[in-house]
């Protein structure tokens, strides 16, 4: 099994009422639960972000909304897991799937 980083790019509207928030939480909880042992690290929501280079630091908040790490037999299987994510299912953005290579 290989680990994959899922980077969430949410472009939808966040719920403004309690019922909408509860529905979103339920959708995410259901997705995490459906992954079972494939879930390696549930990650979290992204907050303030900066992109740093040798010559500058710029605000990059909003480009990434969160991440998770999953385990799958191959890239195609990891993509299939991402396709069931609430962001994709609700057409509220994208999920980037990146294979994590072992270092060293």
Note down pLDDT in tens along the chain; length 104 residues. Answer: 999 999 999 988 888 999 999 999 999 999 999 999 999 999 999 888 999 999 999 988 878 999 999 999 999 999 999 999 999 999 999 999 999 998 87
Q: How many domains does the chain have?
A: 1
In angstroms, the Cα distances linking 99 to 18, 24, 38, 43, 73 are 36, 27, 14, 16, 11
pLDDT computed for residue 13 by the predictor: 84
What is the chain's Cα-based Rg? 15
Q: Which residue, 6, 13, 12, 48, is CA-closest to 31?
A: 6
pTM of the model: 0.88
Tell me if 14 is assigned to some domain.
yes
Residue 53 is assigned to a structural domain of this protein: no
**Domain range for 74:** 2-47+58-99
Residues 38 and 72: beta-carbon distance below 8 Å: yes
């Amino acid at each position: 099994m290989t680990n994959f980083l899922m980077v969430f790019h949410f472009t939808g509207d966040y719920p403004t009422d309690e019922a909408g928030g509860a529905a979103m939480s339920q959708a995410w909880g259901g997705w995490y639960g459906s992954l079972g042992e494939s879930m390696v690290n549930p990650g979290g929501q992204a907050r303030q972000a900066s992109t740093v280079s040798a010559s500058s630091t710029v605000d990059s908040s909003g480009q990434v909304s969160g991440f998770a790490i999953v385990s799958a037999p191959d890239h195609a299987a990891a993509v299939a897991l991402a396709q069931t994510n609430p962001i994709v299912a609700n057409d509220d953005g994208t999920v980037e799937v990146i294979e994590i290579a072992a270092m060293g």
